[in-house]
Structure 1
């Protein structure tokens, strides 16, 4: 009986030791994990561990003109930032008016992994005009890099670089390559920015089931704008952009804010000479490059008028090639196939029998 008691005591003693050792191991593990966590938080919170990107421009003054529009006029190099740990970094070039503290800013995303980038005269001219500076006059700009890894950690900025340049007046374009024209680059409609200020407009007819497209600075796929969500654009990324509905839509694209919006904008002919009579419009197609409306259509002898958005609120009549708001019906003397061209900027029209 005594030996059994000693054995029980030994077992009990060993059990206590084992529990003690397990407790020590668990304590050390918790302390180690806490230290790791505290170390990570300290490194994230420490400004000493973060090194902003270094930006270098190869020029401090640039001469811009239509003669060097296609030449590389400015080249930048950068040393990637260091956030104190490995992470994918997004670098954005920011251009602002000197001393304005980037209240008005043009942002250009640097492709991932790139440490150098060149800008053509046309690209740089468009960026500077988007800031609202005058043409033909030298203006001063501040340039820096904004680097970020996610929305939870504050972005860091490089030291400022200075740039002087005199932008020139120009017209720039975006091209909408899409399903409405069977994705043929050469047939893409153009959106126009008359002053290269980053705001482009154009009118496109979207047939049923052919609403998707992308926007490109040239009629090729070297660079393009896609869509991250309805109305929100991203450069060299995103999905196909999708128009909200069929028919003639006026698109406005703002590459300063990377947004796109739509509104109805159609013109058609209506009248006794048209295929649908006075009951409905026969829609015309907008020629963005020449800013005129066109239609080839079979007409009978009779009368026509031009009507906006299928409504009598805005309509034009006229005579002898001159349009007049709300004017008299236009006479079609004889039946035939006609090419119709209407210029609402000049208030003129032509009816050419084929």
Structure 2
């Protein structure tokens, strides 16, 4: 019996050593994306006549992933000063295995103004291509000189973000890529007098699954918030997706302290005695997905004022800070209802005229509006 035990131990050791020798290390194969983006022009001068005209076409070669599956491409557009992080980049989803993208003048004009190039002056935008399959890969950036236009520019977009921390919103609507997803932001304590609550907006086009998640970083390697059922969030990375009821423009909130989330469909309008309908009837705005803005063209008068509000009511509306010229929520139920931020004024124009009004809620660190006078 003793010899049998010894032989058994020797056999086990031999098997363990053999298994150890046979073990292999799986290496993540690299992605090849050495594409130099080519552009149809290196300088664009914009005007009202170029709004519906194709002004820029980008082309690139395909990224090569180890597995032969479809690759989703997205164009990122940013200011030259932000390309160290691309934190404020605008995005245009191209699609699966498509290697070209053409932009209308109105799109480039909106992005140029939003990224800090003043109207009727010349600046530079940087473009790069993001490829995504199981991970992101990026092309070399290309710089385009752009001269946007605007007749009168009221309340220009702030050149800097408010510095709020963010959660990312990867989902079916944009290829499940956290690095190019929209965000919700957590206002600093004292601005809306709350903490741990993230808020922002997401546009869900028709035809998808309407699934998404919150992530704490622009990747899948940190905290992923999924479905904890009945409006709860789960920090289990294997939890199911969060699901919206259908297409639309949603205000999202995530309470990472109490692990709760909400999704409220919203439509936006302008109302006030500066508008033709006064304070009794609002004028509905239209959402333009390609520009990420709500917009309306109407006559405004300087002797009155106006506000933006959601869903034909006063529980979610914006006023303007007279010191910083930034818009903030005057009321919002996510931040306790009532007065979300005190000391805000109504908005106004400096002269009578016909205006196109834009409201950009795509970045919760930089909500802003601007007006183009015709």
| The two structures share one fold, judged by TM-score above 0.5 | no
Q: Which structure's residues are more often helix, by fraction?
A: 1
Indicate the TM-score class for this superposition, using the shorter chain for normalisation.
0.3 to 0.5
- Give the structure-2-normalised TM-score: 0.40
Q: Which structure's residues are more often strand, by fraction?
A: 1
- Give the structure-1-normalised TM-score: 0.42
